[in-house]
Structure formats: C-alpha cells, structure tokens
Amino acid sequence: MIEQNIQQAVSTALKNLYGIDTAPETVVLQTTKKEFEGDYTVVVFPYVKQARKSPEQLGNELGAKVKELVDEVSDYNVVKGFLNLSVADSYWLQFVSQTVGLPDYGLKAADPAAKPVVVEYSSPNTNKPLHLGHIRNNLLGWSVSELLAANGANVKKVNLVNDRGIHICKSMLAWLRYGNGETPESSGMKGDHLVGKYYVEFDKHYKEEIKTLVDQGMEEEEAKKQAPLMLEAQAMLKRWEEGDKEVRDLWTKMNGWVYAGFDETYRRLGVAFDKIYYESNTYLLGKELVQKGLDMGVLFRKEDGSVWCDLTGDGLDQKLLLRRDGTSVYMTQDLGTALLRHNDFGAEQLIYVVGNEQDYHFKVLKLILGKLGFEWADKVYHLSYGMVELPNGKMKSREGTVVDADDLITEMEVTAEEMCRDHGKNDDMTPEQLKELYHILALGALKYFILKVDPAKNMLFNPAESIDFNGNTGPFIQYTHARIRSIVRKAEEQGIDETQPLAPSAVPTLTDKEKAVVRCLHDMPGAIASAADNFSPAMVANYAYDLAKSFNSFYQDTPILRETDTAGKTFRVQLCAVVAQALKNTMRILGIEVPERM
C-alpha cells in the first residue's frame, strides 16, 4: 500500500538528509484535511530539532526527497510544518482496476492452524427470555468475532448458558406454586417467555412477603433473607446440587422450554455458536479448583464453612467462592469454565463479552486464576460494554419492564414494511421476497444502530431513528448498496464489463468526488485492522457510513451511465462495483445483509 511506501521514503529521507534514524512505522501519516491540497500528510515537527531546520524548510526538503523516492507521489506542499503529499491519479486508477472483482477485498483469510481466539457472548439465564440488553451482547459478540476473523484470527464463538442457581430456582418455585401445570403448548407462549413470566411472578409474591415481615417489625434487609419464598428457593437450590430427582426433573423440563425459545430467537437474530457450555456442567470443576486453592493455601475457609479468596493485598477485598452451605457462586463456575475452555481450545486469548457492571468480577477472575498458578490467566480479556437504555429508563427483568427481543424484532419488521411501502419501489417483488426484504432491513436497522456506538458507551435505543432511510443508519447503507447494484446491472445490459482491465492512461483525470470515493475505499483494510485492534465494530460501522456517504455525494454530481467517454464510463462502473463489494464486506462483519434491490 502507498502509505507504507511513503513512511519508508520519509524514514530514508530523514536518514540520508539529516542522519536521523527513524523506524518507518513511527512516521506519523494522516489523511490530508479537506481544506488543503493533498492525499496524505506527514507531521514533521518531531524531527525539527534534530534536523536543525525550520518546519517549513524541513517539510519542503522532505517533500522533494519523498517525491524522488516514490513514483506515485506527484506533488507536495507545506503548510506550517505539515507536509501534504499528492498521489498520482494513475495509482488510484490502478488500485480500482486491481480491486474490482475481488470478493474478499479488505478481509484476511483466517488461519485454521493458528491458536484460536475464543469469544464468549450471549450467556443467558434460563429464567427469562432474551431482551434488548441481550441483543447488544449477542450482536457485539458476533461482530467482534467476525471482525477478528476478518483480520486472520482463528475464532471460536462460544456461549455459556447460566442454567442453574438461585435465579433458576425462583422461576421453578413460582411455577410450582402458581403455574397450575401451564406449558408452552397449553398457553401458546414461547417456552422462554413462559418461564420468564414465573420469574416475575416470584418477585411479586416475594415483595409481598417482605412487606408483611416489615409490617410485623422486622428490618427490611433481614426480611429479604427470612421471606419464606426466598428460604424455599435456597432450599430448592441445595436439593438441586444434591441431585434430588424431583427438583432435577422439573429443572430439565423447564430448561428445555427455554432452550427451544432461545434457539428461535438466535435464528431470527442471525447469531450462532461453535460450542455451548452449560453452567450445570462446569460448576463442579469450579468446586475442584476451590479445593485446589484451599490445598495451596491461596484460599481460606471461614468458621461458618464458606470459602473465600483474600484480595486485599491486590487493592480489592475478600471474594466469596463457596457459600456456607457448600453451594457455589458465579465466580466458582467461571473459574471452572475458564479452565475447561482453555483445555478445550488451547486458546491464544479468552474474550468475555459482558456488560460493564461486571468489570470487578473479571478483575477478580484473572487474579484468582493467577493465584491458582495458571500462567494463561493474563490471556483473559473482558470486553466491557455499556448498558442499553430506553427513553423511559433502565429495564428490570424481575419487574417485567424489559423490551423482549422477539417482540422488538417483530416490531422492527413491521416498521420496515411501512417504510418500504412509503418508499414505493417494490411493486414487482413477490410476497415472499418482500417478507425477506423486511426482515433484512429490520435486522440491518437494529444491528447497525446498536453496533455503531462505541462498545464502552451506554446507549439510548430509539427504534424509529434506527430504521430511517436517511442519515447514519443501516437502511441508508443497505439502500446505497441496492442502488449501486442496480447501476451495475444496467451497465451489464449495456454491454459494459466492469471486470475489463483499463489502462490508467485511457481514463480522464479523476474528479474530486471520484477521488474521494477511491481514497475511502483504499482506507478499508486499515480501517478494519484498526477496528480489530480496538475490538470495536463501531469503527467498521462508521467506516461503512462514510463510504456510503462519499459514494452518494459522487452519485449526485457525476454522470455514470450517461457518461459519453467509454473508458470513463467503464471506470465509474468499476468504481461502483468495488464500493458495493466493500459495503457488503463491511456490513457482513456487522452481521448485516445488504439486498441486491430495494
């Protein structure tokens, strides 16, 4: 790529002209600002003192030398110590000619022999259906996995289903108490929705019991511990861990309902996994590690029988690993799962996609794994992300104030249908094709709106804004792709073959709008690599938007199929084809399909 050539030339020039040793990769190279002439800008200030030159003099001397060393550099200018370099049209034309027809432009092939990067996401609880918060988790996990794979990593997508614990027992107990034998078949509800209904039911009755105890004079915190429902749920968890057949049979039945519901939601959302782990199969391994820690003396047991890890020397506190009744906590099973996953894959890295409310949890996990003697503990990485909120505030599962994932997808499909009808360009599509189009647009709107936000930031989800055909939205980019594919099809009908090689000399001078599009395309591999380094699909989303925006500006001002110069027309069709492929590839990283027509 031209950027590396320029950096190497600057390094060589600094050495030859001033005896300054500078590694090429340390040369700061930026895209030239729109208000100045040029394509790339070299910041010369770091070398002024050693060269004993003024910034302007140094810039001019460097510019002349770089132009001499790099054939593609056609001109230069200096503005207050910034060296602006112009790249010849012939380079950009050749780039487009070489890129057209490459289906994987901007993407690197994954190396199946490399140590895998294991990405865990989703991690649902089997006491409730997936909601909007889970959607951000799933979309982020899927997209980060695809982003790393697009940079050559051997990625394994995994899911840990939290299928045991006190929260699961709450749903089970409420169903026994208040369910009257209700099933997904008898109620017509998805299984995960049905179980979630009883999680909410537990909370309602639990709060009533707390109020009664408080009214009788008990302190609220003590009432929360002594409420009969909570005591019974805790007893049920203990019976589960002891293998009680009645409890285990009920657990198997209700979890089965939930798994079927999850599978349907995953399918609609377009996410999948290479392997699924279940907490019920990993928590015992965690208990074995706790025993190992006790034997090593890095964990300790309190008088009540509970087991802890003292992290005060690490600036934290003491962490519970086993309750006094011997039941495990989340940390227990996460220790076991981390070891199991490392043993299963021999992973290069273990990435956990989990909300930022668990930042402390993962600091503790890494510390305890290290204290247990696992050298690979530093390979654990918590991809922390912000919460999704609604205009009316936060969601609470136990209170039933969540945006259900299934309902949201359906709502988005309905909105997409309304938008397409208003758009009025789909009259020739069959009902089946339209249904598929509405689904593609709905998911494109949902995924893009969520993924365009930096993972670390909290976000406010607004369905109406997400599906607008204008602005920084998925449908805007999808529509741009469909528009381009229409142009290419019409060009083919006119006998234009966009794969036909063009001699750079045959094409007239590039317009500013053409050059802007080509330069944006040229930046794509670097944009994807930078996004992977930062675990940020948002950087890919915003690159795709910039490319679509640049193309539309070019499209509005530039004749394509009406161009009278044959070579110029062919080049512009080639440019369209490359942009379409680039949009398809970047959106694929986000898990978004781009339709051929809209």
pLDDT tens per residue across span 540-587:
999 999 999 999 999 999 999 999 888 899 999 999 999 999 999 999
Per-residue model confidence (pLDDT) at position 201 = 96
149-153, 181-185, 417-421: range with lowest mean pLDDT: 417-421
Phi first, then psi, for residue 542 (nearest 5°) are: -75, -25
Per-residue model confidence (pLDDT) at position 127 = 93
CA distances, 361 to each of 334, 368, 589 (Å)? 10, 11, 29
The residue assigned the tokens 């200096």 is 78
**Would the pLDDT of 482 be above 60?**
yes
**Would the pLDDT of 397 be above 90?**
no
Per-residue model confidence (pLDDT) at position 328 = 81
Exposure pattern of 305-315 as b/e (b: 16+ CB <10 Å)? ebbbbebeeee
Q: Distance between terminal CA atoms of the chain?
A: 35
Token pair listed for 187: 């109620």
Nearest CA to 491 out of 501, 499, 480 is that of 499
**Would the pLDDT of 598 be above 50?**
yes
**Would the pLDDT of 401 be above 60?**
no
pTM of the model: 0.90
Per-residue model confidence (pLDDT) at position 404 = 87
Given a contact cutoff of 8 angstroms between Cβ atoms, the answer to whether 17 and 52 are in contact is no
pLDDT tens for each residue of 23-74: 999 999 999 998 999 999 999 999 999 999 999 999 999 999 999 999 999 9
Per-residue model confidence (pLDDT) at position 399 = 45
Q: How confident is the model at residue 425 (pLDDT cuts 50, 70, 90)?
A: low
Percent above pLDDT 70 for the chain: 97
Percent above pLDDT 90 for the chain: 82
Class in CATH terms, 405-589: mainly alpha
The arithmetic mean of pLDDT across residues 122-135, rounded, is: 92
Query: Which pairing describes strands 155-161 and 275-278: parallel, antiparallel, or unpaired?
Result: parallel
Q: How confident is the model at residue 395 (pLDDT cuts 50, 70, 90)?
A: very low
Per-residue model confidence (pLDDT) at position 115 = 94
Given a contact cutoff of 8 angstroms between Cβ atoms, the answer to whether 519 and 553 are in contact is no
DSSP-H helix ranges across 151-190: 166-178, 184-187
Nearest CA to 10 out of 43, 53, 49 is that of 43
**Would the pLDDT of 398 be above 60?**
no
Q: How far is CA 166 from the centre of its chain?
A: 30
The arithmetic mean of pLDDT across residues 134-157, rounded, is: 97
Per-residue model confidence (pLDDT) at position 241 = 87
d(CA 591, CA 581): 15
Per-residue model confidence (pLDDT) at position 329 = 85
**Would the pLDDT of 90 be above 70?**
yes
pLDDT tens for each residue of 185-217: 999 999 999 999 999 999 999 999 999 999 999
The arithmetic mean of pLDDT across residues 524-533, rounded, is: 96
**Would the pLDDT of 531 be above 90?**
yes
**Would the pLDDT of 505 be above 80?**
no
CA 395, 401, 402 angle in degrees (round to 5)? 60
pLDDT tens for each residue of 96-115: 999 998 999 999 998 888 99
The arithmetic mean of pLDDT across residues 133-154, rounded, is: 96
Token pair listed for 378: 């530093």
Q: What is the gyration radius of the CA atoms in the chain, in angstroms?
A: 29
3-state secondary structure of 70: coil
**Would the pLDDT of 322 be above 80?**
yes
The arithmetic mean of pLDDT across residues 143-158, rounded, is: 97
d(CA 203, CA 396): 11
**Would the pLDDT of 508 be above 80?**
no
d(CA 231, CA 222): 12
427 versus 475: the higher-pLDDT residue is: 475
| The CATH number of the domain covering residues in 121-296+325-399 | 3.40.50.620
Q: Helices (H) and strands (E) in the chain — how many of each?
A: 22, 14
Sketch the domain layout of the chain as residue ranges: 2-87, 121-296+325-399, 405-589
Per-residue model confidence (pLDDT) at position 371 = 96
d(CA 518, CA 218): 72
Per-residue model confidence (pLDDT) at position 47 = 95
pLDDT tens for each residue of 330-352: 898 899 999 999 999 999 999 99
The residue assigned the tokens 């503005």 is 79
Nearest CA to 286 out of 188, 398, 372, 415 is that of 372
The yes or no reply on domain 2-87 and CATH 3.30.1360.70 is yes
**Would the pLDDT of 291 be above 50?**
yes
Q: How confident is the model at residue 78 (pLDDT cuts 50, 70, 90)?
A: very high
3-state secondary structure of 348: coil
CA distances, 87 to each of 72, 91, 143, 268, 503 (Å)? 6, 7, 34, 46, 17
Work out the mean pLDDT of the chain and round it to a whole number.
92
Per-residue model confidence (pLDDT) at position 424 = 64
CA 11, 13, 14 angle in degrees (round to 5)? 65
d(CA 434, CA 430): 6
